[in-house]
Amino acid sequence: MPKPIHVLNGPNLNRLGRREPEIYGSTTLAEVEAICRDAAGECELVFRQTNAEFQMIDWIHEAIDDSSALLINPAAWTFTSMAVMDALKMYPHPLIEFHISNVHRREPIYHKSLVSAHATAVMAGTGARGYGHAIRILREMIEDRRVA
Ligand code: DHK
Protein backbone atom coordinates (compact mmCIF):
# COMPACT_ATOMS: atom_id res chain seq x y z
CA MET A 1 0.00 0.00 0.00
CA PRO A 2 1.70 3.29 -1.04
CA LYS A 3 2.21 5.81 1.73
CA PRO A 4 0.06 8.98 1.72
CA ILE A 5 0.92 12.36 0.28
CA HIS A 6 1.15 14.88 3.11
CA VAL A 7 0.01 18.49 2.65
CA LEU A 8 1.21 20.83 5.42
CA ASN A 9 0.16 24.47 5.79
CA GLY A 10 1.79 27.03 8.04
CA PRO A 11 0.62 30.00 10.05
CA ASN A 12 -2.35 32.19 9.18
CA LEU A 13 -3.47 29.91 6.34
CA ASN A 14 -6.44 28.88 8.49
CA ARG A 15 -7.79 32.33 7.65
CA LEU A 16 -7.69 31.90 3.86
CA GLY A 17 -10.75 33.45 2.31
CA ARG A 18 -10.79 36.23 4.90
CA ARG A 19 -7.04 37.05 4.88
CA GLU A 20 -5.87 39.72 2.40
CA PRO A 21 -8.07 38.37 -0.42
CA GLU A 22 -6.36 40.76 -2.86
CA ILE A 23 -3.21 38.67 -2.32
CA TYR A 24 -4.46 35.18 -1.37
CA GLY A 25 -7.84 35.13 -3.10
CA SER A 26 -11.18 34.05 -1.69
CA THR A 27 -10.61 30.29 -1.52
CA THR A 28 -10.90 28.95 2.01
CA LEU A 29 -8.59 26.36 3.55
CA ALA A 30 -11.44 23.85 3.48
CA GLU A 31 -11.81 24.48 -0.26
CA VAL A 32 -8.04 24.06 -0.68
CA GLU A 33 -8.33 20.68 1.06
CA ALA A 34 -11.11 19.68 -1.35
CA ILE A 35 -8.93 20.76 -4.31
CA CYS A 36 -6.10 18.59 -2.97
CA ARG A 37 -8.29 15.56 -2.31
CA ASP A 38 -9.82 15.80 -5.80
CA ALA A 39 -6.34 15.95 -7.36
CA ALA A 40 -5.11 13.08 -5.18
CA GLY A 41 -7.67 10.71 -6.66
CA GLU A 42 -7.07 7.24 -5.20
CA CYS A 43 -3.89 8.36 -3.45
CA GLU A 44 -4.28 8.69 0.31
CA LEU A 45 -3.83 12.29 1.51
CA VAL A 46 -3.00 13.81 4.89
CA PHE A 47 -4.00 17.51 4.99
CA ARG A 48 -3.01 19.73 7.94
CA GLN A 49 -2.57 23.36 9.03
CA THR A 50 -0.99 24.80 12.15
CA ASN A 51 0.01 28.13 13.66
CA ALA A 52 2.41 26.34 16.07
CA GLU A 53 5.98 25.81 14.91
CA PHE A 54 6.56 22.77 17.15
CA GLN A 55 3.52 21.11 15.60
CA MET A 56 4.79 21.76 12.07
CA ILE A 57 8.16 20.24 13.00
CA ASP A 58 6.47 17.15 14.48
CA TRP A 59 4.30 16.77 11.34
CA ILE A 60 7.36 17.06 9.07
CA HIS A 61 9.02 14.29 11.14
CA GLU A 62 5.88 12.18 10.72
CA ALA A 63 5.97 12.80 6.97
CA ILE A 64 9.64 11.77 6.84
CA ASP A 65 8.65 8.38 8.27
CA ASP A 66 5.22 7.87 6.71
CA SER A 67 4.67 9.68 3.42
CA SER A 68 5.46 9.20 -0.25
CA ALA A 69 5.62 12.94 -1.03
CA LEU A 70 5.18 16.28 0.73
CA LEU A 71 3.49 19.50 -0.37
CA ILE A 72 4.25 22.29 2.09
CA ASN A 73 3.19 25.90 2.27
CA PRO A 74 5.39 26.99 5.18
CA ALA A 75 3.93 30.51 4.97
CA ALA A 76 5.95 32.94 7.10
CA TRP A 77 8.23 30.17 8.36
CA THR A 78 9.58 29.95 4.79
CA PHE A 79 11.63 33.06 5.53
CA THR A 80 12.22 32.84 9.27
CA SER A 81 12.49 29.29 10.57
CA MET A 82 15.76 27.38 10.60
CA ALA A 83 13.93 24.73 12.60
CA VAL A 84 11.51 24.12 9.70
CA MET A 85 14.44 24.25 7.25
CA ASP A 86 16.42 21.71 9.28
CA ALA A 87 13.44 19.37 9.44
CA LEU A 88 12.83 19.62 5.67
CA LYS A 89 16.53 18.91 4.99
CA MET A 90 15.81 15.41 6.33
CA TYR A 91 12.88 14.80 3.98
CA PRO A 92 13.84 11.97 1.54
CA HIS A 93 10.95 11.97 -0.96
CA PRO A 94 9.57 14.46 -3.57
CA LEU A 95 8.93 17.80 -1.84
CA ILE A 96 7.19 20.85 -3.33
CA GLU A 97 7.43 24.24 -1.60
CA PHE A 98 4.19 26.04 -2.42
CA HIS A 99 3.04 29.64 -2.13
CA ILE A 100 -0.36 30.92 -3.26
CA SER A 101 1.14 34.34 -4.03
CA ASN A 102 4.19 35.16 -6.12
CA VAL A 103 6.48 35.88 -3.19
CA HIS A 104 9.10 37.33 -5.55
CA ARG A 105 6.78 40.20 -6.50
CA ARG A 106 6.14 41.10 -2.86
CA GLU A 107 8.11 42.93 -0.21
CA PRO A 108 11.83 42.01 -0.04
CA ILE A 109 11.30 40.11 3.23
CA TYR A 110 9.45 37.50 1.13
CA HIS A 111 12.29 37.03 -1.38
CA LYS A 112 14.73 34.75 0.50
CA SER A 113 13.34 31.32 1.19
CA LEU A 114 15.17 29.07 3.66
CA VAL A 115 13.27 26.12 2.17
CA SER A 116 13.81 26.29 -1.60
CA ALA A 117 17.34 24.83 -1.57
CA HIS A 118 15.89 21.68 0.04
CA ALA A 119 12.79 21.32 -2.14
CA THR A 120 12.39 19.21 -5.27
CA ALA A 121 10.37 22.04 -6.81
CA VAL A 122 8.96 25.45 -5.89
CA MET A 123 5.58 26.85 -6.97
CA ALA A 124 4.49 30.44 -6.31
CA GLY A 125 1.85 32.77 -7.75
CA THR A 126 -0.65 30.28 -9.17
CA GLY A 127 -3.29 31.06 -6.58
CA ALA A 128 -4.97 28.34 -4.52
CA ARG A 129 -5.77 26.34 -7.65
CA GLY A 130 -2.06 25.52 -7.81
CA TYR A 131 -2.39 23.16 -4.87
CA GLY A 132 -4.20 20.72 -7.15
CA HIS A 133 -1.53 20.95 -9.84
CA ALA A 134 1.16 20.42 -7.22
CA ILE A 135 -0.55 17.24 -6.03
CA ARG A 136 -0.77 15.93 -9.60
CA ILE A 137 2.92 16.70 -10.14
CA LEU A 138 3.83 14.87 -6.92
CA ARG A 139 1.78 11.85 -8.02
CA GLU A 140 3.81 11.77 -11.26
CA MET A 141 7.09 12.13 -9.35
CA ILE A 142 6.12 9.23 -7.10
CA GLU A 143 5.27 7.11 -10.16
CA ASP A 144 8.55 8.06 -11.85
CA ARG A 145 10.44 6.76 -8.82
CA ARG A 146 8.39 3.58 -8.76
CA VAL A 147 9.14 2.73 -12.39
CA ALA A 148 12.75 3.92 -12.38
C1 DHK B 1 1.60 32.52 2.64
C2 DHK B 1 1.96 33.28 3.70
O3 DHK B 1 1.31 33.24 4.86
C4 DHK B 1 3.06 34.23 3.60
O5 DHK B 1 3.76 34.39 4.84
C6 DHK B 1 4.02 33.81 2.52
C7 DHK B 1 2.39 32.42 1.42
C8 DHK B 1 3.27 33.60 1.22
C9 DHK B 1 1.52 32.15 0.20
O10 DHK B 1 1.54 32.95 -0.76
O11 DHK B 1 0.84 31.12 0.24
O12 DHK B 1 4.99 34.67 2.37
Q: Which helix (H) or strand (E) holds 69?
A: strand 69-73
Q: Over range 112-132, report the average pLDDT.
A: 98
pLDDT digit string, tens, across residues 78-95: 999 999 999 999 999 999
Can you give the residue range of the structural domain that contains 109? 5-147
Binned at pLDDT 50, 70 and 90, residue 99 comes out as very high
- Cβ < 6 A, ligand 1 pocket: 12, 73, 75-76, 78, 99-101, 103, 110
CA distance 33 to 36: 5
Query: In the chain, which residue ranges form alpha helices assigned H by DSSP?
Result: 21-24, 29-40, 53-66, 77-80, 82-89, 130-147
pLDDT score for 140? 97
Catalytic residue among 24, 91, 93, 131: 24
Percent of the chain predicted with pLDDT > 90? 95
The CATH number that applies at residue 40 is 3.40.50.9100
Ligand 1 pocket test, candidate residues 100, 106, 131, most atoms within 8 A of CB? 100
pLDDT score for 146? 79
Cβ contact 104:129 at 8 Å: no
Structurally, how many domains does the chain consist of?
1
